[in-house]
Each structure stands twice: as structure tokens, then as C-alpha cells.
């Protein structure tokens, strides 16, 4: 894990509201510029072209400065830790991945529409009878682009790694052997300050991150893919991926959240 750098404290929040407004305004300008080209590409079945570029640009405007170690494999299922909503922007911009999300997000029409523009796959975690259909959906997506699952099921505090839940991998337990399963590690320099945890409202976290005057340094490590007995089932995949991510970050594995 990258050691936290010695930094000066952030200035008072008051005057930084202008920075939040400027960043949001730039996001909206970029959205307005890309929405028509994106819809044209999407009409021809190429929804994957614009959104990763768009999300990568949002990451840069939000203050992210990203270093990539390793290479995301073609068509891979990516498994790794989750710290912040910034993870989505960073991973999409660097690996052109789509994401697997729980179906609760589909209850918010605008959020659902935005997620679908990057081919987000919504899955149901508590209905076992839907697993076969979800496997087909996952395989279909992986045939065209990378797909990311966050097996912690929530964001961590940046100090310890939450246990990877094998239940979240039930829809990918019987993937074809030619699809690589590749762990990744998100290593924020100031992870404890960036993490979205506890009872902090989402909007408050968004404002706090967007009001920062210092860059947010993130190293993304794409690790070696799982192999052999590690791919036996969802439990072995979760255990192996968790071990590799914990080792890459130098983190202990904490207790599961209640």
C-alpha cells in the first residue's frame, strides 16, 4: 500500500464551493458534447466506445491522477477492492470495463439510464432461480468487453480489506475456460480520506471529494489471472482473488460487515 504523503491541510471549505461548481459545470459540458455521438454509436450497437472516454475525463476533472501497473486482459472478468465512487471512473477510463451492479440501482431511473450507457449488468443476489439467466448475460458481455465485480459488496475504509463474498460470484461460477478471471488492486495514496464509508451521505461525500484542492493519487494494479484449482468454484475464486488483492495492498482482511 502506498504510504500516505505528508500534506498541508485543505483550506476552509467556504471558497472551495466554487471549485465544486466548476468541476460539475465541466462534467456537464463534456456530457453535452458527447451525448449525441454516443447515442449514434449506440444505435449501431457500439455503446462501448464513448462512455469509457467520458468516465475517464470525469476522473481527471475530479482530481484523479492514475498510475497503472500491469495490464487488464482482453475480455477479462475483473475482481478487486472498492473504496469510492471514483473507482468506477478510474477503472472505466483505464480498462474500458463495464460493471456488475446489484439491481437496487435500477430503481432510480436517471441513475439506471446512466449505468446502462456503459453496459452495466444488473443482477439479483437473492433469487437463486435467476442464476442461469445471469450466467448467460455475463458470458454475453464478456464476449465483447471486460466486466468488473466488486466482491466486497460495499466500499471499504481504505485501511483493511473486507472479505470477498463468494455469493456475489454465483452468476460467474460456470464461465467458459477461455475467459480470464483477473484480480486488481486499487491503491489510493490517501485512501482513508477518500473512502466512502459509515453513515456519510452520498452527496456529502461527493461534495467533499470534489472540493479537494490536492490531486487524488491512485495506483491501479492489474494482477496475474487466477488459474488451476483457484477457478474450481465461486468460493475458491473469491478466496484466491482476495488473497492476491490483500497482498498487493499490504492489507489485513477485516471482519465482514453486519
pLDDT at position 159, please?
A: 87
Lowest mean pLDDT among 4-13, 45-54, 171-180: 4-13
Q: What is the rounded average pLDDT of the residues 133-145?
A: 73
User: Does the structure show a pLDDT above 90 at 144?
Assistant: no
Whether 117 maps to a domain, the answer reads yes
Whether 89 maps to a domain, the answer reads yes
HSE-CB of 171 using CA atoms within 13 angstroms = 29
State how far the alpha carbon of 227 is from the alpha carbons of 140, 178, 179, 232, 233, in Å: 22, 11, 11, 9, 12
d(CA 134, CA 138): 6
Instruction: Give, rounded to a whole angstrom, the gap between the first and last alpha carbons of the chain.
Output: 26
- Give buried/exposed letters for 224-240 (b at 16+ CB in 10 A, else e): ebbeeebbeebebbbeb
d(CA 244, CA 164): 11
- Domain span at residue 165? 14-249
Q: What is the rounded average pLDDT of the residues 127-147?
A: 69
pLDDT at position 113, please?
A: 81
pLDDT above 70: percentage of residues in the chain:
86
CATH number of the domain that 51 lies in? 3.40.1130
Whether 9 maps to a domain, the answer reads no
Whether 256 maps to a domain, the answer reads no
Domain count, the chain: 1
Report whether 123 contacts 100 (CB < 8 A): yes
- A 10 A CB-CB count for 108 gives 11
Whether 3 maps to a domain, the answer reads no
- With a threshold of 0.85, does the pTM exceed it? yes
Whether 4 maps to a domain, the answer reads no
Whether 93 maps to a domain, the answer reads yes
Amino acid at each position: 500500500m502506498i504510504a500516505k504523503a505528508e500534506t498541508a491541510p485543505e483550506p476552509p471549505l467556504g471558497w472551495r464551493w466554487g471549485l465544486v461548481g466548476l468541476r460539475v459545470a465541466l462534467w456537464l459540458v463534456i456530457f453535452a458534447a458527447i451525448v449525441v455521438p454516443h447515442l449514434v454509436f449506440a444505435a449501431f450497437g457500439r455503446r462501448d466506445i464513448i462512455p469509457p472516454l467520458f468516465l475517464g475525463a470525469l476522473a481527471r476533472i475530479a482530481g484523479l491522477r492514475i498510475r497503472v501497473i500491469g495490464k487488464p486482459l482482453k475480455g477479462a472478468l475483473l475482481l478487486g477492492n472498492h473504496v469510492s465512487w471514483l473507482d468506477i471512473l478510474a477503472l472505466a477510463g483505464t480498462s474500458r470495463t463495464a460493471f456488475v451492479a446489484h439491481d437496487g440501482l435500477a430503481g432510480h431511473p436517471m441513475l439506471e439510464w446512466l449505468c446502462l450507457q456503459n453496459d452495466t449488468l444488473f443482477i439479483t443476489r437473492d433469487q437463486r432461480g435467476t442464476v442461469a439467466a445471469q450466467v448467460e448475460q455475463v458470458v454475453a458481455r464478456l464476449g465483447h468487453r471486460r466486466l468488473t465485480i466488486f466482491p466486497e459488496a460495499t466500499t471499504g475504509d481504505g485501511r483493511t480489506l473486507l472479505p470477498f463474498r463468494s455469493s456475489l460470484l454465483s452468476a460467474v461460477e460456470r464461465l467458459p475456460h477461455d475467459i480470464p478471471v483477473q484480480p486488481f488492486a486499487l491503491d489510493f495514496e490517501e485512501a482513508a480520506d477518500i473512502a466512502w464509508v459509515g453513515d456519510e451521505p452520498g452527496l456529502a461525500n461527493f461534495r467533499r471529494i470534489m472540493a479537494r484542492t490536492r490531486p487524488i493519487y491512485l495506483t491501479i494494479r492489474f494482477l496475474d489471472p487466477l488459474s488451476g484449482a483457484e477457478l474450481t468454484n465461486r468460493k475458491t475464486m473469491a478466496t484466491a482473488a482476495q488473497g492476491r488483492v490483500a497482498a498487493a495492498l499490504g492489507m489485513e482482511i477485516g471482519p465482514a460487515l453486519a
